[in-house]
Structure 1
Amino acid sequence: MYIFRSIYEIINTISTAKTLLTEMFEKRKTISFRYIDALELLKDDENRLKILIEKEVIHQNGNFLELDVRFLDFFETLLEANEEIDTATIDENIEYLHELMDYYLKEKIQSRKESYVRNIKLTFQKIARVTIRNIMNLQNSIDNTFKHEPTYQIKIAKLKNLDKKRINIQNLIDSTEHLILHEERLFFQQATDEELGRILLELRQELQLSAHSLIRAQQDIINYLNQIKNQVILVEKIRKVKYLQDQFELRARSNLAEVMENEHSVLLEGCTQTSFKLSPEYLASDEARPIILRILSNRKTREHIRKNEAGAFSEEDMKAQAMYEEVVNLEEVVKSFLQSGAEAQWKNEQPKDLFTFLLHYSFQREVNEEECTTLFCQIVSLYEDKLEISDDFGRYKQYEYAKIYPL
């Protein structure tokens, strides 16, 4: 394994291939990156590409390339783009806190005591950050599993495993609270650090919010599992009815006739066609003439439309390349908006409101101001439960809008 000699070497290596690394990171889950595509992004500088492979920033597998797992994890951690739920990290940090607090109580040199306190503060901040990230990933995974997993058995298994991870996160929150309030009382009595007190206060507030979010996640899992159970029961009943119908045993082996006799729903009644005949005397009268002419006119119009119907596709049409308009993925935009709110909270900064965020968001295609207002309205209507609608209003050119922040 290649070992870098300095931070300067790492930064310089990455900066020389920033376009390629950005493209490979964005497409890490969709496609395998081809060697010739990488060369094109590096302006056919094969020497630079070989250096990246030698320094193991990129791995080559035949004609394809992929990012090294160390750099991939590094980018995902900094950009908070990793959807994995990592409870082991919090557990390790809690154990590390016990060790640091024990070292602090046994240390006699004040400067070394201060270094232990500094590491303790950093670890508490890391626990808060990882906990919030885990809960966001948990909620997204629950929603995505229910909406997009096509196989019922896998969907149920994934939801049950996510519920286990929810319980693990709750246990780690309880362990952190117990550490602060009970286990290490002697340390907190001796380490009278003002910044540490502020960090602990913020941490406990975030842990309480996290506990509330876990309650919501538990309710979602229960609701989704119940919906899946009902869907499975319904599908099994439909399959059984279909089997009996195919075997011509439906009436003999079921109570279909009794149910249909007692069922009077409008849906099952069908549409009654009104049937009446006009007398020849009426059709010959002047009163019926305008009606007959209007009917003839309508029939001619329908014939004209039928003649103008498109014919079958030719072989040339079938081979023509289709054109698609790239649609904005609202779910990704909302996810980025919620992440920006979490980042602002960690930095003690005021988060951007939704309309300002959309104006500065990097869409895959060009989005004008009018489309931004449309996206703004769509997000508010579809994701209202994830947003905080304030009483303040903002103005941008001719637009006046309500200021909406991440919940």
Structure 2
Amino acid sequence: MPVFQSADQLLRDIGGKRERQVINHLFLQKQARFDFLVELVGGDERFLQRLVAKQILVRQDDWVLLDDRILSFLERFMEVNEDIQNYEIDERIGAIELNIRLFQEEQLWKRKEAFLHKVKKSMSSLGRVVKRNVIDLGKQVQMDYKTEVNPKVKEIKIHDHNEKAKKLRTLIGAIEELLENRTFFQEANDEMLNRLAIELRYDFLREAKVNLRELSQEIVGYLNRIEEQHAIHRKLQEVKRLKDLFELEKRTNVEQLVNEQISLFFAPRPFVSTPPSLDYLRSDDGGALVSKIANKLRHRARQNASRAGVIAKKALDTAAVKEMRINYPKIKQAFFEGEQDLFNFVVDYTFEREVDLQERVKVFCKLALMYEDQMHFTGMTNVHQQIRYGVILPFNPKSKALQGK
């Protein structure tokens, strides 16, 4: 026997200020601890127990949730349910088909009106369900592709969304077939039914088909990218295997490719940070590592505090401290006025202080990056004291003349 005998009784039992406060909190947070909810309602534990007894709330040990029926009603009415409910569309199509057959077979007009009313009732909500499912499916596709870190799980999810998109297209086709039943519409001769059919066809189905077409193209693009990532991953695994066997240079042309690709010379060194797993941190070795890092941080903090407490004698020296700063625009201008390539120009350039070869290489790289659009990267390479560098000239007629020489 149901707990509530009427809608009025249900609304009275969930319409109070405290009831709405609890329901709103659980609707937003999905679940909450029983002790927290007791504080939320002013310490009235019996009040929460009454809501549990009336099946408005469900208690699971120390946690409390909304009853699935109330949660489902709120999600459907507010259209915030993230589940793709194609079965709802299928059920409504089945209900419409059944009541159309019953309408056409029935002879008494009063009973025919009852079947017609059920057709209009199912048709009135069908368009909104289709539109909501298409929108929710698009959101889930983007979210799973952008947030899922496991490549295999990501691929499975995207394939599942693709199947749901195909099912949606099939259901839309079935709805369009229903709307083509001219015999039924002529026999019913109902203005509201015709208005619902026009609204369903032109306001909902047309937009849904366009969005589904775009979504399907997006899914295909995501699946192609995932496949490309898998291929790169497999290639990298094979390269690592050959490297571990000390056969990479012997069985591949990696050395030739690296020498030919000047872009690798300017590429930054990749930094990959791999966080330790929670299982490792919970182990004895992980605990020892955390303690060691914590001790280092405390020691560093003490050193910084001691340094802050002592004013260095040099800090009190009022004499001006001369520091050589590299004037990159000035060096670039001098380079454009000369006839050397960038590397040899920087090696021969006279700075205000002594600059070693390593620092000159850094200046060379920085100039190439800062003024990339004004440089002519020839694609050729030379060697200077075992340093392989790319030949870079100014992007002007002089560089072309020098290259021709």
Q: TM-score, normalised by structure 1?
A: 0.63
Question: Equivalent residue for 1:232?
Answer: 230
Question: Equivalent residue for 1:275?
Answer: 347
Secondary structure of 2:47's aligned partner = helix
Identity %: 28
Question: Equivalent residue for 2:199?
Answer: 202
List aligned pairs for 1:270-309, cutoff 5 A: 272=343, 274-276=346-348
List aligned pairs for 1:7-406, cutoff 5 A: 7-16=7-16, 17-28=19-30, 32-181=31-180, 184-205=181-202, 206-265=204-263, 267=265, 272=343, 274-276=346-348
Question: Equivalent residue for 1:398?
Answer: none
Secondary structure of 1:59's aligned partner = strand
Q: Give the Cα–Cα distance (whole angstroms) in 2 for the partners of residues 81 and 2 of structure 1.
A: 27
Q: Give the Cα–Cα distance (whole angstroms) in 1 for the partners of residues 122 and 48 of structure 2.
A: 38
**Larger Rg: 1 or 2?**
2
Tell me the alpha carbon deviations over residues 300-344 of structure 1, each in whole angstroms, 9 at most, x when there is no partner.
xxxxxxxxxxxxxxxxxxxxxxxxxxxxxxxxxxxxxxxxxxxxx
The gaps in structure 1 that reach 5 residues or longer are 279-287, 296-407
Tell me the alpha carbon deviations over residues 48-86 of structure 1, each in whole angstroms, 9 at most, x when there is no partner.
101111011111111111111111111111111111111
Q: Give the Cα–Cα distance (whole angstroms) in 1 for the partners of residues 74 and 35 of structure 2.
A: 24
Q: 1:269 to 1:151 in 2, by over 3 A?
A: closer
Q: Give the Cα–Cα distance (whole angstroms) in 2 for the partners of residues 153 and 254 of structure 1.
A: 29
Q: TM-score, normalised by structure 2?
A: 0.64
Secondary structure of 2:58's aligned partner = strand
* 8 Å Cα contact 1:2/1:54 also seen in 2: no
* 8 Å Cα contact 1:34/1:65 also seen in 2: yes
Q: Give the Cα–Cα distance (whole angstroms) in 2 for the partners of residues 277 and 188 of structure 1.
A: 89
Secondary structure of 1:85's aligned partner = coil
Secondary structure of 2:65's aligned partner = strand
Q: Give the Cα–Cα distance (whole angstroms) in 2 for the partners of residues 148 and 216 of structure 1.
A: 21
Report deviation, 1:9. Answer: 1.7
Q: Give the Cα–Cα distance (whole angstroms) in 2 for the partners of residues 112 and 53 of structure 1.
A: 42
Q: Give the Cα–Cα distance (whole angstroms) in 1 for the partners of residues 68 and 343 of structure 2.
A: 67
Q: Give the Cα–Cα distance (whole angstroms) in 2 for the partners of residues 195 and 245 of structure 1.
A: 73
Q: Give the Cα–Cα distance (whole angstroms) in 1 for the partners of residues 45 and 261 of structure 2.
A: 75
Report deviation, 1:243. Answer: 3.4
Report deviation, 1:99. Answer: 1.8
Tell me the alpha carbon deviations over residues 336-385 of structure 1, each in whole angstroms, 9 at most, x when there is no partner.
xxxxxxxxxxxxxxxxxxxxxxxxxxxxxxxxxxxxxxxxxxxxxxxxxx
Q: Give the Cα–Cα distance (whole angstroms) in 2 for the partners of residues 277 and 189 of structure 1.
A: 92
